[in-house]
Structure 1
Amino acid sequence: MFPLEALVRRITPRVTPLFVALLAVLITVLVGIVLAIMLPASAAESAARPCAVGSGPNLSGKRFTRVEQLPANLRCATLTNAKLDELDLTQRDLTGAVLRGASLKEADLTQAHLEYADLRGADLTSADLGQLEAKQADLRGAILIDAEAGQAEFPHADLSKAVLARAVLTQATFTNAKLVGADLNQATMGQIKARTANFSQAKMKDVKLGQAQLQHTVFKDADLTGATFTQAELQGADFTGAIITSASFIQASDVNLTGARGEGSNVPSDAIVAPAEETQAAEDERPASTDTPRSSGGISPALMVVLVSAFGLSMTLLIWGLSSGRRKRSHATFAMARHAAEEDVTRFGEEIDTLDFEMKVKAVSGPSHDWRAALDAYEAAKQALMLARTPGELHAAAAAVHHGRLALHRVRASMGRTYS
């Protein structure tokens, strides 16, 4: 092993140009693969929309004081900067509508449909959003202060930098939603479903997350001061860099606070706790080595011992460096493979959601055994991802996704025959 590594080191200067060329080819191939994945996904997402964006009535900038002034059909309507304050929009279908910058203060959107809608910068202060359907909606920068959104559905939605301070979101669904940098201070989020949601850098002071389903949820660098996680399910949740000062974890399950900042309260006895400050302090408190060789006045035997020791130390460091490099490369390879597998499983879940939405829109259904097979394959893929520790073990997740997609294909084929 070591002669081979020495040979590689000797010939490295000669193969550097070839390595650079191979690296350029690899980057080109990877870019092509990413584009090949993204473009079909975008096309599939567009095909899944019930109507084309902007194909509905154009009502941009208009002010409405009575709901009767609105058209009966608002699917994919353009309502950019429109004024819809205090209107009763209960159960209205706004699927795919463009509501960028629209004002919906105190509007009643109970059981309304906003799937795929564009609500960037919209103002929904004190709006009633109970049982709202907002799958894959874009709510970046939206204002939902004091909104009542119990049992609202936001799966795969983007609420990055949205302001939801004091919002009531009890039993809402945020599965795989993105809330990066969102303001959720003092929000009530009890019993929410937020598996794989991303709350990185979110402001969540005094937020209530009792009995929340937060498996594999990301709280990186979030401010969770005074938050309540009573009986929350936290398997795989990431608290790296999060501030958990005075946060309560009474009877929470699978708590892992590795890398968190501050000190939580009522942390379960079986929790994994390794705050960032303590980890750094442990590193700083390690005693420095005191094995400094003393000068012996130039006596030849002593000098020889020093040289031999230095040589031995150098060889030890060299061997350790080579071994460490192999481990790092192995870990990096597995991390990349796992990330790619996670993205594939996530896309498969989105394909299931999209097909489910299509079936509801078209009022058709596929064969129940194939639909169940697809759902079971999705669960099996997630389980395989969770248990995988080596690249080889990720094949189980890939196999499950493959079989699940075949089942979805059969469901689509059956739907096509039924619908035609």
Structure 2
Amino acid sequence: MFPQEALVRRYTPRVTPLFFALLAVLITVLVGIVLAIMLPATASDAAARPCAIGSGPNLAGKRFTRVEQLPQNLRCATLTNAKLDELDLTQRDLTGAVLRGASLKEADLTQAHVEYADLRGADLTSADLGQLQAKHADLRAAILIDASAGQAEFPHANLTKATLTRAVFTQADFTDAKLADADLNQAALGQIKGRTADFTRAKLRDVKFGQATLQHAVFKEADLTEAVFTQAELQGADFTGAIIEQASFIQASDVNLTGARGSGANLPSDTIVAPATEEPPAGDKTEGPARELEQPTGSKGLFGLSPALLVVLVSAFGLSMTLLIWGISSGRRKRHHATFSMARHAAEEDVTRFGEEIDTLDFEMKVNAVSGPSHDWRAALDAYEAAKRALMLARTPGELHAAAAAVHHGRLALHRVRSSMGRTYN
């Protein structure tokens, strides 16, 4: 038997199981990704759906010019790419319907129901959406330019990358809605309910947030140039990386602009301001010209080398740097993981203790048949939910700050409740 064959026979029994194990892991990951894309809703959302997707009438791709052409029952109907422009769909029940890519320009959906409906990429330009019921609706990449949606309900809806330019959402409900990367420039969002809403990287230039409730909302890296937050409630709101140039905060409460870029206007006296550093270090400014002066000298020396030798040297340097960076990155990832695990464990314990404090106070109020201020009690509960959500989303030790901030605000609210109870006992 040749030595090569002996080696193959010796190691094949060990390598083959490992190979198939890695292959099984890869297939499992790919299947999980596919399922995550095809089934974006959580198990609880799926259980809460009113009916199976597509179980209603199939009207995909059809064009309707009169509302009489539509069947009365449109629950879970398939209306993919259908044309429904200017139709009167007032109070119609489209719960669970599939309206992906449908055209609803200037349609009247006043008090219509689209809970759990799939409206991805739908065009609702200039549509009337007053008092629309859109709980858990999927409006990713939908177009709502100039739409009128006063008092509409969008709790837990997904409007990621939606275009809502100049739309009117006065008194609308965006509780826990996702509006990441959405275009809301010049939109009217006065008096909205936006508790824990996610506006990450959203375009919010000249948006009116007057008297909006935005506790624990996320504005990370959003463009809030000339936005107006008059009398808005901003307890726990995250403005990290947000552009707040000329944004107005007249009489807004609990304003914390830590990490924001630019300078806001009309800031309350108790505003917390710690802007992000954008200027490069002074050393970089002095080193730049030096590098420019040194470049010609180095270039002349390199041109003296033969092209083949230069290629070999560059390739060797690139391979060496790749291996070096890989080694450094591997060690850094291990240290980062260990640090993050410790920080996350401590944060989880703090959030758990906060939850126990809420339970203890709730028990005391029930035993003594008293109640604290409903506003502060609600604020404490919201802070607890925000802290849990921040823990779930955190990927770095720095991102755990949001959980700590939520717990801090929650404990302040609990303290006010206890103080009120003390006065009641006395």
| Counterpart for residue 127 of structure 2 | 127
The answer to whether the 8 Å contact 1:83/1:102 transfers is yes
List aligned pairs for 1:214-233, cutoff 5 A.
214-233=214-233
| Counterpart for residue 187 of structure 2 | 187
Letter in 2 for 1:263: S
C-alpha deviation, 1:275, in angstroms: 1.0
Q: Go from structure 1 to structure 2 and tell me whether the alpha carbon gap of 1:52 and 1:340 turns closer, same or farther (over 3 Å shift).
A: farther
List aligned pairs for 1:13-162, cutoff 5 A.
42-162=42-162
Which residue among 331, 342, 364 is the counterpart of 1:333?
Answer: 342
Letter in 1 for 2:148: E
Letter in 2 for 1:183: D
Q: Go from structure 1 to structure 2 and tell me whether the alpha carbon gap of 1:83 and 1:170 turns closer, same or farther (over 3 Å shift).
A: same
* Counterparts of 2:67 and 2:350, CA distance in 1: 47
* Counterparts of 2:171 and 2:282, CA distance in 1: 44
| Counterpart for residue 416 of structure 1 | none
* Counterparts of 2:129 and 2:261, CA distance in 1: 34
List aligned pairs for 1:296-311, cutoff 5 A.
none
Q: Go from structure 1 to structure 2 and tell me whether the alpha carbon gap of 1:123 and 1:338 turns closer, same or farther (over 3 Å shift).
A: farther
Q: Go from structure 1 to structure 2 and tell me whether the alpha carbon gap of 1:212 and 1:333 turns closer, same or farther (over 3 Å shift).
A: farther
Q: Go from structure 1 to structure 2 and tell me whether the alpha carbon gap of 1:387 and 1:104 turns closer, same or farther (over 3 Å shift).
A: closer
Percent identity for Structure 1 against Structure 2: 70
Q: Go from structure 1 to structure 2 and tell me whether the alpha carbon gap of 1:163 and 1:97 turns closer, same or farther (over 3 Å shift).
A: same
* Counterparts of 1:260 and 1:113, CA distance in 2: 38
| Counterpart for residue 420 of structure 2 | none
* Counterparts of 1:52 and 1:191, CA distance in 2: 35
C-alpha deviation, 1:380, in angstroms: 5.9
C-alpha deviation, 1:203, in angstroms: 0.4
The answer to whether the 8 Å contact 1:89/1:109 transfers is yes
Secondary structure of the residue that 2:277 maps to in structure 1?
helix
Q: Go from structure 1 to structure 2 and tell me whether the alpha carbon gap of 1:248 and 1:117 turns closer, same or farther (over 3 Å shift).
A: same
Gaps of 5+ in 2: 1-24, 284-333, 355-375, 392-399, 408-426
Using structure 1 for the length normalisation, give the TM-score. 0.62
* Counterparts of 1:328 and 1:272, CA distance in 2: 31
Per-residue CA deviation, residues 188-227 of structure 1 (Å, 9 max, x unaligned), is 0000001111100000000000000010000001000000
Output the aligned Cα RMSD: 3.8
Q: Go from structure 1 to structure 2 and tell me whether the alpha carbon gap of 1:386 and 1:179 turns closer, same or farther (over 3 Å shift).
A: closer
The answer to whether the 8 Å contact 2:246/2:265 transfers is yes
Letter in 2 for 1:174: F
The answer to whether the 8 Å contact 1:135/1:154 transfers is yes
C-alpha deviation, 1:50, in angstroms: 1.2
* Counterparts of 1:191 and 1:272, CA distance in 2: 23
| Counterpart for residue 266 of structure 1 | 266
Per-residue CA deviation, residues 374-408 of structure 1 (Å, 9 max, x unaligned), is xx99976544467899x9x99xx9xxxxxxxxxxx
List aligned pairs for 1:224-243, cutoff 5 A.
224-243=224-243
The answer to whether the 8 Å contact 1:65/1:84 transfers is yes
Secondary structure of the residue that 2:342 maps to in structure 1?
helix
The answer to whether the 8 Å contact 1:146/1:165 transfers is yes
List aligned pairs for 1:293-372, cutoff 5 A.
332-335=341-344
Letter in 2 for 1:240: T
Which one is further off, 332-341 or 71-80?
332-341
Letter in 1 for 2:146: D
Aligned residues: 292
Letter in 1 for 2:161: K
